[in-house]
């Protein structure tokens, strides 16, 4: 890797670059002093924090500092039973009995309390995940709040959303979420479930449970009836016990395709409803008539911010042959200016990789690429000594059948391929097992419609990337999953809508 990297660097015209390594902003860190964490967190069942049946706990680390943030409860099957029982009882006796208008009031209250405590949640999310504070403060937490507000509005309008079919809640929803957007994925799942009249048992990823546990405290502050949302921390096996539990009526999962398939096998024979939001390998297609500087910003936003820990990340750049030289040069220049480091610093563009194993997975892809002779480019940047870090990385010289083009890396790594015609671009974009998202960059509106309608992916952005809104449905084709979250589409998986 280093040889390719160095030789390429030496060939560059250093005078052309406005910024060189060593150039930096003054540090502007958010203070973690206001974050009050308990030493030990318990399970949130029936409105109370209670110890796990097995009396075991595990540590949660800050991936940027490798410091222990807290210990959290290691739940097991017995705890799943307790949580599902609590959720079932609250569903029958309280939550399904109160009018939609009242359910909506609770959701509005949760959204408002989150607004008041937005800064605290953003800082804790950055400490727990390693993502830059700019992301958690400007994207994650505002979107979390927007989702609670949005679904609060639907709670008393379900009959209008699904006219003539008398929509009914399903009962208890079992939800399992990943570590890349812990609080946002919780909001995507909890808000529509509650608006539709279901109660919830939710499991966060083991590396990032803290903001969801804080949300449990906030639910109590909001007066949410005990048992409406139950939070279980614990390993994957506990997640599977939730999937298999006969008292669970619907499963919602976001995570890897591998676990998604296991969940599908288990749910398929039980009659449970399920939605799966899995991996992606999105192509960002840049045509020769695209505004190049805008495209470069979109590419950078699509894969490098949030360390590429985004299922819909634009991890493959497909650029039309005539402009590939210029575009890649601009991209490399832009990479030189990206700041990798302290997630709590407001200047940081790229934070820490979420865990040691995830970093190893990314580095495995890069050393394999090196062995295969691909050209690897990384900007000059000093990485902090402690923590898990990967600089933004470009990989050129790849072709469609290579593993790095086909498989999800979930890191700040962008492969680059060129194409000549729109047909070729569409064929390359569609040729992976995934179909979650994509991007098209061109000056011509007609080309946007023509190309995007032929890409088999749930979301296509045109002349922008990674834009989210609670009113828009999100989800994938092929191995990227099934079902949609967000918008009105995100309500129906939590409702019986047959006559």
Could you list the residues that contact ligand NAP (CB under 6 A)? Answer: 176-180, 203, 205-206, 235-236, 239-240, 243, 254-256, 259, 262, 277-279, 311, 358, 361, 408, 410
Shortest distance (Å) from residue 65 CB to ligand NAP: 20
Give the residue among 107, 134, 135, 137 at the shortest CA–CA distance from 121: 137
Shortest distance (Å) from residue 245 CB to ligand NAP: 12
Q: CB within 8 A of 310, min separation 6: which ones? A: 180, 181, 303, 466
Q: Which is nearer to ligand NAP, 376 or 436 (CB)?
A: 436
Q: Which is nearer to ligand NAP, 87 or 426 (CB)?
A: 87
Q: What is the largest CA-CA distance in the chain?
A: 71
Shortest distance (Å) from residue 266 CB to ligand NAP: 8
Task: Answer yes or no: are the C-beta atoms of 61 and 250 closer than 8 Å.
Answer: no
Shortest distance (Å) from residue 261 CB to ligand NAP: 10
Instruction: Report the C-alpha gap between 52 and 60 in whole angstroms.
Output: 16
Give me the catalytic one of 311, 312, 381, 390.
311
Task: Answer yes or no: are the C-beta atoms of 76 and 52 closer than 8 Å.
Answer: yes
CA distances from 330 to 11, 48, 85, 293, 322 (A): 15, 54, 57, 8, 14
Instruction: Report the C-alpha gap between 414 and 377 in whole angstroms.
Output: 10
Instruction: Report the C-alpha gap between 465 and 443 in whole angstroms.
Output: 15
Q: Which is nearer to ligand NAP, 239 or 412 (CB)?
A: 239
Q: Which is nearer to ligand NAP, 279 or 470 (CB)?
A: 279
Shortest distance (Å) from residue 217 CB to ligand NAP: 20
Give me the catalytic one of 30, 125, 135, 277.
277
Instruction: Report the C-alpha gap between 206 and 255 in whole angstroms.
Output: 12
Burial of 297 (0-12, 13-18, 19+ CB in 10 A): middle
390 catalytic residue (yes or no): no
Task: Answer yes or no: are the C-beta atoms of 399 and 407 closer than 8 Å.
Answer: no
Q: Which is nearer to ligand NAP, 167 or 255 (CB)?
A: 255
Q: What are phi and psi of 88, to 5 degrees?
A: -65, -45
Q: Which is nearer to ligand NAP, 265 or 294 (CB)?
A: 265
277 catalytic residue (yes or no): yes
Instruction: Report the C-alpha gap between 127 and 269 in whole angstroms.
Output: 40
Q: Which is nearer to ligand NAP, 198 or 206 (CB)?
A: 206
Shortest distance (Å) from residue 159 CB to ligand NAP: 33
Q: Which is nearer to ligand NAP, 232 or 290 (CB)?
A: 232
CA angle (155, 125, 392) in 5-degree steps: 120
Query: How many helices (H) and strands (E) are present in the chain, helices listed first?
Result: 17, 22
CA distances from 198 to 9, 102, 418 (A): 56, 14, 48
236-244 vs 77-90: helix crossing angle, rounded to 10: 40
Q: For 303-333, give the DSSP string.
A: HTGGGG--TT---EEEEEHHHHHHHHHHHHH
Shortest distance (Å) from residue 33 CB to ligand NAP: 28
Shortest distance (Å) from residue 278 CB to ligand NAP: 5
Question: Could you give the count of Cα atoms lying within 13 Å of 4 in the half-sphere of its Cβ?
Answer: 18
Shortest distance (Å) from residue 301 CB to ligand NAP: 17
Give the residue among 311, 299, 342, 268 at the shortest CA–CA distance from 178: 311
Q: Which is nearer to ligand NAP, 211 or 442 (CB)?
A: 211
- Would you state the torsion angle of the CA atoms of residues 87, 91, 92, 97, taken in this order, to the nearest 10 degrees? 160
Catalytic residues: 277, 311
């Amino acid at each position: 890797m280093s040889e390719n990297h160095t030789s390429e660097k030496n060939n560059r015209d250093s005078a052309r670059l406005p910024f060189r390594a060593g150039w930096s902003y003054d540090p502007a860190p958010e203070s973690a002093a206001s974050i009050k964490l308990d030493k030990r967190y318990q399970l949130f069942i029936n409105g109370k924090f209670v110890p796990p049946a097995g009396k075991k706990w595990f540590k949660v680390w800050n991936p940027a500092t490798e410091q222990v943030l807290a210990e959290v409860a290691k739940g097991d099957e017995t705890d799943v039973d307790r949580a599902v029982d609590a959720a079932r009882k609250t569903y029958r006796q309280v939550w399904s009995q109160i009018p939609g208008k009242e359910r909506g009031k609770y959701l509005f209250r949760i959204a408002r309390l989150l607004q008041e405590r937005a800064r605290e949640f953003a800082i804790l999310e950055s400490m727990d995940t390693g993502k830059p504070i700019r992301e958690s403060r400007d994207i994650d937490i505002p979107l979390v709040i927007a989702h609670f507000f949005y679904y609060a509005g639907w709670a008393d309008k379900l009959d209008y959303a699904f006219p003539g079919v008398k929509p009914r809640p399903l009962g208890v929803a079992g939800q399992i979420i990943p570590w890349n957007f812990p609080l946002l994925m919780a909001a995507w799942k909890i808000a529509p479930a509650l608006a539709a009249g279901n109660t919830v048992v939710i499991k966060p990823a083991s590396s990032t449970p803290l903001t969801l546990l804080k949300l449990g405290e906030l639910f109590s502050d909001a007066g949410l009836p005990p048992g409406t949302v139950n939070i279980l921390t614990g390993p994957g096996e506990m997640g599977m016990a939730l999937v298999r539990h006969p008292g669970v009526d619907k499963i919602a999962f976001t995570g890897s395709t591998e676990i998604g398939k296991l969940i599908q096998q288990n749910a398929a024979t039980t009659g449970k409803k399920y939605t799966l939001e899995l991996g992606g390998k999105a192509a960002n297609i840049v045509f020769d008539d695209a505004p190049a500087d805008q495209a470069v910003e979109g590419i950078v936003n699509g894969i490098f911010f949030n360390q590429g820990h985004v299922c819909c990340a634009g991890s493959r750049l497909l650029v039309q042959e005539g402009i590939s030289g210029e575009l890649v040069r601009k991209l490399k220049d832009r990479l030189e200016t990206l700041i990798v480091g302290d997630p709590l610093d407001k200047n940081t563009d790229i934070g820490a990789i979420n865990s040691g194993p995830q970093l190893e997975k990314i580095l495995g892809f890069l050393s394999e690429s090196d062995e295969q002779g691909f050209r690897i480019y990384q900007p000059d940047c000093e990485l902090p000594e402690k923590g898990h870090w990967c600089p933004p990385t470009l990989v050129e010289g790849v072709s469609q059948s290579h593993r790095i083009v086909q498989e999800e890396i979930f890191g700040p790594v962008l492969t680059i391929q060129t194409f000549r015609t729109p047909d070729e671009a569409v064929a390359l974009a569609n040729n992976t097992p995934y179909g979650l998202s994509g991007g098209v960059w061109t000056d011509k509106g007609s080309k946007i419609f023509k190309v995007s309608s032929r890409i088999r992916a749930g979301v296509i952005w045109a002349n922008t990337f990674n834009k989210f809104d609670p009113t828009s449905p999100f989800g994938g084709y092929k191995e990227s999953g099934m079902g949609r979250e967000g918008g009105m589409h995100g309500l129906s998986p939590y409702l019986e809508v047959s006559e």
